[in-house]
Structure 1
Amino acid sequence: MEHLTLHTDDGHTLAARCYRPADASVAARRVVILAPALGVPQSFYERYARWLSGHGCVVYTLDWRGMGASAPADLRRYRAKLIDWPLHDAPAIMQCAVSRHPGLPISWFGHSMGGILYGLMPKLPQIDHVVTLGSGSGHVSHLARPLRYGMLLFWHVIVPLSVARHGYFAGKRINAVADLPRGIVGQWKRWCASPDFCCVEGPHVREAYAAVRQPITAVLFTDDKMAHRRGVEAIHRLYTGTSVRYLTLHPKDVGAASVGHFDFFHTRTGPKGWAHSLSWLGVSPSARAAS
């Protein structure tokens, strides 16, 4: 595993990682960019990324600005917005992958927010497979019960109190998502307050999603309480210029007792479950290594 430092077009630095096939005889056939969920560090995906690299893929992960290893020591004075992730951070990891592997096709695998924001990212021709997992609108009408009631408490009590006290959202203190800058959690709150979600930013958002031409595979698990089908469909209906294939899975379909919003990438799912993702990502069977 290689540690990388990326530089964005607006002057920020990001921590990223690259996983290559360990066996030198396994030729890399595809790049996979694995984009994290909001508040989830890239280290969470390491086991899956290492496994995927054993199947002929070069895998890139990153920490979005303001979180994980890309966060400054003091978040109180750090200025960032959620919209910076697709407009500035994603292009940095995309251009890194293209420059290092100019002849390889690229798959984008976005988990939760990493998939939600894909429509706002640059249109990169080398990306020929797009997979989203658990990527749905956070508006209360799009959430499963009883989560929607808990999220009302989260947005109207927990978040304001945390930001007022610490100057940022101290998620680690309440065992929620990671610590996040106030600008990022503030914009997330604004999106979740509207049934239009990210489209509250203006008509250019719908135009950006409509301009996507790569077919999209939207994966959702039936026990995912954070990404209900209503919310997943609400986001993916924005892709009016391409086709969206919805893949609804039960945990038992990947050999797991439960998956929820996070555990597809956990060893509880493991190689037998992860093998399902090879076809989603366009990984050729001939590139597969032994599990």
Structure 2
Amino acid sequence: MESSRVLTADGHSLAARCFKPHGGAARRAVIIACALGVPQSFYTRYATWLTQQGCVAYTFDWRGMGQSAPDNLRHYRAKLIDWALQDAPAMMELVAQRHPSLPISWFGHSMGGILFGAMPQHPQIDHVVTLGSGSGYVEHLAKPLRYVIGAFWHVIVPLSVARHGYYAGSRINAVGDLPRGIVAQWKRWCASPKFVLSEGEHIRQAYADVKLPITAVLFSDDTMASPAGIRAVHQPYTGTRVDYVNLRPQDVGARSVGHFNFFHARTGPQGWRHSLPWLGLA
């Protein structure tokens, strides 16, 4: 595993990691885009397994998160849309420059997949996978989360931001530490049934302009994303085909998967092999 820093067009430095196959040339590059509040280290097992399938895999931390965050988030300024418009293009370009002859797959977990339509498209990317990428609007959330999310937005988040100057999620084991601008924009999106598209007409048009087919994956025991939420996020892709893959934990040999555990060791290679056709590796 090789660590590096990636500079975005607007001057932010992102922490990234590269996982290379041992012996032989790679046949594909895969960029794994983190869920909101989840550090890139969470995806290390899966990225390492991808190298055994002949891939070079990349992980990274979005600005304001993990190793891409400053020591103190109190005065750090960032918006959620910056991840799509600045951070993602920087990672795409890095991978494309390092591997000009390889096709690239984008594997977005939760927010890492939600934002794909808002990202500038890169010609080397030919496969897109979203996992658990559902709308945060209350009626689109899985049960029972939709019944308690109000307390999160109207009590927990405001109190945390007021006390710390940022959302200190790691202190209460709820999401992770996030800059106040990130969590504020996330809250605004979640207040609207349009979710990300509430950002404006230019974002709706960006989703409509995507031409790449997308594989949208959801596990039946996901505690955050629901089938309705997954469809709400992917319906704006009016210029392409979305293939919906609905799986049960037992389909991948696991007792539970939920929103996070596809990448966990308890799923492992027996479950991860299901992702090979999604990524263009079958």
What TM-score results when the alignment is normalised by the length of structure 1? Answer: 0.96
Name the residue aligned to 1:29: 27
User: Could you tell me which residue of structure 1 aligns to residue 6 of structure 2?
Assistant: 6
Query: RMSD of the TM alignment (CA)?
Result: 0.6
Tell me how far apart the structure 1 counterparts of residues 40 and 12 of structure 2 sit (CA, whole Å).
Answer: 18
TM-score normalised to structure 2 length: 0.99
The CA deviation at 1:149 is: 1.6
Matched residues, number:
282
Match of 1:191 in 2: 189
Displacement, 1:161? Answer: 0.3
Paired letter, 1:103: S
- Cα deviation digits, residues 227-281 of structure 1 (max 9, x gap): 1010000010010000000000000000000000000000110000001101110
- 1:61 is matched with 59
Give the C-alpha shift of residue 145 in structure 1: 2.1
> What SS does structure 2 have at the residue aligned with 1:128?
strand
The equivalent of 2:268 in structure 1 is 270
Identity rate, percent = 70
* Correspondences of 1:148-227 after superposition (within 5 Å): 148-227=146-225
Alignment equivalent of 1:107, drawn from 101, 105, 108: 105
SS of 2:80's partner is coil
Q: Please give the alpha-carbon distance, in whole angstroms, between the structure 1 residues aligned to 2:191 and 2:59.
A: 30
Q: Deviations over 1:73-118 (max 9, x none)?
A: 0100000000000000001100000000000000000000000000
Matched, 1:248 2:258: no
Residue 144 of structure 1, CA deviation: 2.0
What is the identity, as a one-letter code, of the residue corresponding to 1:250?
A: R
- CA distance in structure 2 between the partners assigned to 1:97 and 1:146 by the alignment: 39
Deviation digits for residues 10-45 of structure 1, max 9, x if unmatched? 0100000000002x1x32000000000000000000
C-alpha displacement of 1:199: 1.0
1:273 maps to amino acid: G
Q: Distance in 2 between matches of 1:146 and 1:271?
A: 30
Give the equivalent residue in structure 1 for 2:88: 90
User: 1-side partners of 2:183 and 2:254: how far apart?
Assistant: 32
Partner Cα distance (1:131, 1:52) in 2: 15
Structure 2, unmatched stretches of 5+, are none
Counterpart Cα distance in 1 of 2:161 and 2:217: 33
What residue ranges of structure 1 are gaps of 5+ in the alignment? Answer: 285-291
**Whole-angstrom distance in 2 between the partners of 1:80 and 1:199:** 19
